[in-house]
Amino acid sequence: MTDAAPQTIYLKDYRPFGYYLDDVHLTFRLAASATRVVSRISVRPNVDFPGEFFLHGQDVKLIWAKIDGADVTPVVSADGLTCDAPDGPFVWEAEVEISPATNTALEGLYMSNGVYCTQCEAEGFRKITFYPDRPDVMSVFCVRIEGELPVLLSNGNPTSHGDGWAEWLDPWPKPAYLFALVAGDLVAHSDGFTTMSGKDVALNIYVRPGPDEAKCAFGMGALKRSMKWDEDVYGREYDLDIFNIVAVDDFNMGAMENKGLNIFNSSCVLASPETSTDSNFERIEAIIAHEYFHNWTGNRITCRDWFQLCLKEGLTVFRDQQYTGDQGSHAVKRIEDAITLRSRQFREDNGPLAHPVRPESFIEINNFYTITVYEKGAELIGMLKRLVGDDAYRKALDLYFTRHDGDAATIEDWLQVFEDTTGRDLTQFKRWYSQAGTPRVTVTDDFKDGVYALHFEQQTPPTPGQDSKSAQVIPIAVGLLSQDGTEVQPTTVLEMTATTQSFAFNGLAEKPVPSLLRDFSAPVILQRDQTNVERAFLMTHDTDPFNKWDAGDALAKDVLTKSITENTAPDAAYLDGITAILRNDALDPAFRALCLSLPSEDDMAKALHDAGTVPDPLAIHHAIEALKLTTAQHVQDILPRIQADMIVDGPYSPDAKNAGKRSLANSVLGLLSRLDDGAAAAKQYADADNMTMQLAGLAALLRISKGEDQSAAFRDQWRADRLVMDKWFGLTVSLAAPDLAADTALRLTQEPDFDMKNPNRFRAVFGALAGHSAGFHAPSGVSYRLLGDWLAKLDAINPQTTARMTTAFETWRRYDVGRQDQMRDVLETLAKTAGLSRDTGEMVGRMLG
């Protein structure tokens, strides 16, 4: 199917399907390499949009087809079939054969460790049978599964079962991408939930028998908390008798919201204190919430076409972010989300892969499950909420749910409910969905006769296919502080709509210090001449936690930049500021830990590039290491006391309070290990009774090139646990010395438990190599070539994961000519690979473009 030139699909070409499907009956006769799927579908022509009867189909062998019981001979092509069809309603029947056992792309029906499972979003259902595989074609599914396996699951409610078969009925019309089937030797961790209207729902998390059974309890708790939260905060109730989650080991993404049968990458659902870190727990809780929340934002209201992906993903990410904030600290969550957005989404938005939150064209839709669609998509919801206010947001959402329940909707529908409930004109706001790129907002200010004025100018650089941009609506949350540090103007939201715009504050006794873009109120880059004295002032006095943290981050970036470009020693403002934060027991430990963490090496490369300097990854690596040492020496005296204060007594619990304490304790350990030669880290490693402390002990040792014994012991201890071994593989590469990173990755691929067919394991090694900035950008180009070779190999097995991982090269134009040439060579070699997938071909083409 790679023979034909890949086709570009355009939003402007959208046209409804020419038929309605009134019901869908599927029978699966499971067999590892020859599963038979029989479909029986009641079809009715769509008189408003007549069209040919075309069904998608890929890698499926047609055995027979009938219309109204009579044999037909459709015209079959590489991507589907076309058949002459009656003018009125008819019944379509077909039998196909597929081979789950050899499906290494992990799309459609495949096998993971002997378990049959599916992944249909976005366009995987067409690998199961011939079908109009598009999200606007919705139908009721009735599924029969035949197979000698203890557990046979599909969407909806179970209707009947017997020895070797089971039947399921999903009464809620859904698109095919939400279809799921799971069959295998599985055991359930079961519980229940009573909904707000008193309906009992059976809850199950299915895993393979064995050690995974002990890793379900936390996920079950998270599911119940999510169900309750969606009732309390959005008024959304669950709508089936049963909700099943299945953990599978081989999965391209994190998890999937199939109606009533969520399928998870086991790394995103299974947790235990001994094997999972605090960050694992936090992530698992967020992903379980995310998939559950999709039941309303995604399933009950789905997307008309894949260009509208952000309609469900942006909103659902926003909802899971709110949820996580409610479980712990909104401030900490906001900072974490802003760090992710600014490092990864800004990187995408400012490179060759930049695309609007709602793209207008694609070749392979799987390439658009991006940080821009998801996380920038969530920022747009946050801005909308900030602009209209909390009450209006809730009213708009209520209208969205009542008006569009059962619909395959669009961004236009979404914005319309806000216009209808608030009377606002959102024409300009809509540009956030269509314009790619990160707006730069330049700020100047002046003070005269008691009037303080802020002058803003916005400008968005060109992105691929979009040379010029129009002004966007930017909510800028602002507060003002007096010179002595008291707040003279509490947070107010300025609504910037023009290219240049000024705002005045009257009646001030002296020139205030502005705190701009509080709570990171818009996904923009703020540009302002600011002294380190002012940054340190905000770090001490700002009442907005995000800006308090951000001032420290800006200060650290300045210190690192000067150390790299001018070889200057760290500004005392930074060291004193950090010391004050560390000492301040009134501050949340989790917040203090965030303040202690320095910008990543990649963030520094971006910062230098933006400032017009060609980044040298090795120099950045050394500068960050040096600053950590200097900081450690500066705060040396207070470290033991903080360590003692952060000791968590009692049994391990992943709650935000305890996790925050461990987070600060481990930041402190990182500093301490640079002074005591790893003594404290070795002790922590030896004493640890949970993975958070054990892994942090090991990491602190590896970071100072020690810990060989502990690494070997860790491996022996956890050899049988795949998820812990992924951590070991990842950490071993991430913390290798820069000149050893490529060798280390290569050596790990030769280990017997390296398995390139398992995306988690492949990502553990090669994601870590790509994320090891100084190692990946080794001047010899050895890491580029190693990754390129492995991506070419993986592409033949699993295009989707390969294509995602090519983004390691998206910043190639940032670097010196030597590195640019080597990275371009790797991309060009990939592009020329015989039989390259459409997925990877599109990505490489855009990066070279």
Minimum Å gap between C-beta 259 and ligand ARG is 12
121 binds, among ligand ARG, Zn ion, none (CB under 5 to 8 A by kind): ligand ARG
Q: Which is nearer to ligand ARG, 219 or 788 (CB)?
A: 219
Closest CB to ligand ARG among residues 252, 663? 252
Looking at 25-33, 196-204, 266-274, 306-314, which segment touches Zn ion (CB under 5 A)? 306-314
Stretch that binds Zn ion, among 4-12, 86-94, 308-316, 553-561 (CB under 5 A): 308-316
Decide: is 226 part of the binding site for ligand ARG (CB under 6 A): no
Point out which span in 253-261, 471-479, 603-611, 715-723 binds ligand ARG (CB under 6 A): 253-261
- Listed ranges 255-263, 380-388, 607-615, 761-769: which one lies at the site for ligand ARG (CB under 6 A): 255-263
Q: Which does 255 bind (CB under 5 to 8 A by kind): ligand ARG, Zn ion, none?
A: ligand ARG
Find which of Zn ion, ligand ARG, none residue 840 binds, CB within 5 to 8 Å per kind.
none
Omega prior to 188 cis, within 30 of 0: no
| Residue span binding Zn ion (CB under 5 A) among the ranges 268-276, 310-318, 403-411, 739-747 | 310-318
Sign of CA dihedral 282, 286, 292, 293: positive
Least Å from the CB of residue 264 to ligand ARG: 10
CA 165 vs CA 29, 116, 149, 189: distances in Å:
9, 14, 9, 22
The interface mask with ligand ARG, positions 311-330, x = CB under 6 A, is --x-----------------
| Sheet hosting strand 108-112, strand order edge to edge | 108-112, 115-119, 181-184, 151-154
How many residues make contact with ligand ARG (CB under 6 A)? 13
| Catalytic residue from among 257, 285, 291, 364 | 291
3-state secondary structure of 516: strand
Using the minimum distance from each CB to ligand ARG, give the nearer residue, 121 or 230. 121
Query: Whats the size of the chain, residue-wise?
Result: 849
**Residue 256 interacts with, from ligand ARG, Zn ion, none (CB under 5-8 Å by kind):** ligand ARG
- The partner residues of 544 in beta bridges, in order of sequence, read none
Q: Are 81 and 55 in contact (CB under 8 A)?
A: yes
Q: How far apart are CA 462 and CA 459, in angstroms?
A: 10
Distance of alpha carbon 123 from alpha carbon 676, whole angstroms: 54
Q: HSE (CB half, 13 Å, CA atoms) of 576?
A: 10
Taking contact as CB under 6 A, which single stretch among the options 63-71, 77-85, 219-227, 252-260 is the one that binds ligand ARG?
252-260
CB of 226 to ligand ARG, least distance (A): 13
| CA angle centred on 266, ends 263 and 267, rounded to 5° | 125
Nearest CA-CA partner of 534 in 521, 519, 547: 547
Q: Which does 122 bind (CB under 5 to 8 A by kind): ligand ARG, Zn ion, none?
A: ligand ARG
Residue from the set 308, 366, 658, 732 that interacts with ligand ARG by CB under 6 A = 366
Q: Does 710 bind ligand ARG (CB under 6 A)?
A: no
Tell me the per-residue interface mask from 783 to 812 with ligand ARG, x by CB under 6 A, - otherwise: -----------------x------------
From ligand ARG, Zn ion, none, interface partner of 266 (C-beta below 5 to 8 A by class): none
Least CB distance to Zn ion at residue 287 (A): 9
Nearest distance in Å: CB 122, Zn ion: 12
CA distances from 749 to 591, 765, 813 (A): 38, 8, 29
Quick note: the x/- pattern for Zn ion over 315-354, rule CB under 5 A, is -x--------------------------------------
Looking at 146, 250, 291, 553, which residue binds ligand ARG (CB under 6 A)? Answer: 291
State the DSSP H helix or E strand holding residue 140, giving kind and residue range, or none if neither: strand 139-146
The yes or no reply on residue 285 touching ligand ARG (CB under 6 A) is: no
Among positions 24, 65, 121, 545, the unique one binding ligand ARG when judged by CB under 6 A: 121
CB of 253 to Zn ion, least distance (A): 9
Report, in Å, the least distance between residue 106 CB and ligand ARG: 9
Closest Cα partner for 223 from 269, 154, 273, 278?
A: 269
Q: Which does 358 bind (CB under 5 to 8 A by kind): Zn ion, ligand ARG, none?
A: none
601 is catalytic: no
Distance CA 631, CA 579 (A): 9
CB of 787 to ligand ARG, least distance (A): 22
By CB atoms closer than 10 A (0-12, 13-18, 19+), residue 637 is exposed
Q: Does 257 bind ligand ARG (CB under 6 A)?
A: yes
- Is 301 a binding residue for ligand ARG by CB under 6 A? The answer is no
SS3 breakdown of the chain: % helix, strand, coil, rounded to 5?
45, 20, 35
Residues 216, 179: Cα–Cα separation, whole Å: 24
CB of 801 to Zn ion, least distance (A): 18
Q: Any idea which residue has 């999510």 for tokens?
A: 226
Q: With CA atoms as reference, report the closest residue to 791 among 834, 840, 724.
A: 840
Q: Which is nearer to ligand ARG, 144 or 236 (CB)?
A: 236
Among 39, 204, 252, 711, binds ligand ARG (CB under 6 A): 252
400, 395, 394: which is closest to 421 by C-alpha?
395
Beta carbon nearer to ligand ARG, 167 or 305: 305
Residue 96 CA, distance from chain mean position: 35
- φ/ψ region of 175 (left if φ > 0, alpha if ψ in -120 to 50, else beta) reads beta
Q: Which stretch binds Zn ion (CB under 5 A): 265-273, 313-321, 476-484, 614-622?
A: 313-321
Cβ proximity to ligand ARG: between 291 and 588 the closer is: 291
Buried-state track 419-435, b at ≥16 Cβ within 10 A, e below 16: eebbebebeebbbbbbb
Binding of ligand ARG at residue 363 (CB under 6 A)? no
From candidates 218, 292, 369, 762, binder to ligand ARG by CB under 6 A: 369
Q: Which amino acid is at 147?
A: G
| Residue among 294 and 592 whose Cβ is closer to ligand ARG | 294
One of 98, 152, 201, 256 touching ligand ARG (CB under 6 A): 256
Minimal CB distance residue for ligand ARG: 369
Given the complex with Zn ion, which of 60 and 309 has the nearer CB atom?
309
798's contact among Zn ion, ligand ARG, none, with CB below 5 to 8 A by partner kind, is: none
Closer residue to ligand ARG in complex, CB, 11/365: 365
CA distance 832 to 820: 18
Residue 653 burial (10 A CB sphere; 0-12, 13-18, 19+): middle
Residue 500 has a CB neighbour count (10 Å cut-off) of: 12
The minimum distance between CB 313 and Zn ion, in angstroms, equals 5
CA dihedral for 813, 819, 821, 823, sign (positive or negative) = negative
133 sits near ligand ARG (criterion: CB under 6 A): no
Which of residues 256 and 538 has its CB atom nearest to Zn ion in the complex? Answer: 256
Query: Which pairs count as long-range contacts for 213-218, CB under 8 Å and 24+ apart, including other chains?
Result: 213/187, 213/189, 214/272, 215/270, 215/271, 215/272, 215/275, 215/276, 216/189, 216/269, 216/270, 217/189, 218/271, 218/272, 218/281, 218/284, 218/285, 218/654
When asked if residue 619 is in the footprint of ligand ARG (CB under 6 A), the reply is no
Distance separating alpha carbons of residues 149 and 164, to the nearest angstrom: 6
Report which DSSP code applies to 571: P
The residues binding Zn ion (CB under 5 A) are 313, 316
**Annotated catalytic sites, by residue?**
291
Interface positions with ligand ARG (CB under 6 A): 121-122, 252-253, 255-257, 290-291, 313, 366, 369, 800
